[in-house]
Amino acid sequence: MKTDWRARLKAYHLQQGVYAGTDSEEYQQQHSAAMEKLRSNRGNTLKPEDFERHYDAIAEDYAKYLLDPEYVESISSAIKRIAEITEGQKIVRVHEAGCGAGLDVCFLAVHFPEIEFTASDISEGMLEIARRRADSLGIRNTRFLKVAHENLTPELLGGQVDLCFAIGALFYHSEEEFMTHMWGLTSVINPQGKLVLCTPGGEYLNALATVMWIFNCTFDGEIKDSDIVSPLGIGTFTKTSDSDAKTVAMRLALQSQERW
């Protein structure tokens, strides 16, 4: 029987308090204030080196008020898809890049206790919350590391992984920055592995160029534009030293943005 991941996600989000208090006036006020803080600190001027400071500053607000029902709902399709991929295949090791407050990696770690998870983020403030969440859930199969996407290496993770995912965590201003992050992420994946990317965008993310689709990448095929079906669709990304691949990856990113 197929697992009802939607139902499990919903139950988990309720348990984690993600939906708690949404209707209360106090919550709404705090949510608006947190959004304002997020916005005031963002924009096109935010450089990679600013992300650490930015997310450290908003970490507590992020976990309490910005992991709101709308955001969580928008990424739920991606988590559901990751759970399906993980369930259906022989996956032993998984990495989440830009895990933030750890909501997603902890969900997967609870449901796949036999899998070894690692999760990284550039912000220690976010990682602290993620570690607290993992402890409170009694999770033993997840290790958190403070490392930027661009500095990821298999050695840091104790070897390559079968699946790497990043949700709302890939920000770039140029093709060069995009590829730097991409090479970091893909370097930790084994040759048959998969990369799942999802950035749901939305009001407070669109100041930066963001990737808005899922790559389900097996690294052994050609990139096909037709594989991209929606911002949360499926695409492929071929890991190759061919400089053309770089251009295609960026082209797909831009197309996806236009569609959004």
Ligand X SMILES: C[S@@+](CC[C@H](N)C(=O)[O-])C[C@H]1O[C@@H](n2cnc3c(N)ncnc32)[C@H](O)[C@@H]1O
- Give 70 or 242: the residue with its C-beta nearer to ligand X: 70
Taking a C-beta distance cutoff of 8 angstroms, is the pair 229, 210 a contact? no
Enumerate binding residues for ligand X (CB under 6 A). 48, 51, 55, 67, 75, 98-101, 103-104, 121-123, 126, 148-149, 167-169, 171
Minimum CB separation of residue 179 from ligand X in Å reads: 13
Q: What single-letter DSSP state applies at residue 225? A: G
Minimum CB separation of residue 222 from ligand X in Å reads: 28
Minimum CB separation of residue 124 from ligand X in Å reads: 9
- Give 12 or 223: the residue with its C-beta nearer to ligand X: 12
- Residue 256: which of 196, 222, 215 has the closest Cα? 215
Of all residues in the shown chain, the one whose CB is closest to ligand X is 100
- Give 126 or 252: the residue with its C-beta nearer to ligand X: 126
- Give 108 or 148: the residue with its C-beta nearer to ligand X: 148
Q: Which long-range contacts (CB under 8 A, 24 or more apart) does 157-161 make?
A: 157/93, 157/95, 157/118, 157/188, 158/118, 159/93, 160/93, 160/188, 160/189, 160/190, 160/193, 161/93, 161/94, 161/95, 161/118, 161/188, 161/189, 161/190, 161/193
Minimum CB separation of residue 156 from ligand X in Å reads: 12
- Give 123 or 216: the residue with its C-beta nearer to ligand X: 123
- Residue 210: which of 16, 27, 65, 74 has the closest Cα? 74
Minimum CB separation of residue 258 from ligand X in Å reads: 22
Q: Residue 238 CA to chain centroid, in angstroms?
A: 19
Task: Give the C-alpha separation, 121 to 236, whole Å.
Answer: 24
- Give 66 or 115: the residue with its C-beta nearer to ligand X: 66
Task: Give the C-alpha separation, 188 to 94, whole Å.
Answer: 10
Which value, to the nearest 10 degrees, does the dihedral of the CA atoms of residues 141, 144, 145, 148 take?
Answer: 110
Minimum CB separation of residue 226 from ligand X in Å reads: 28
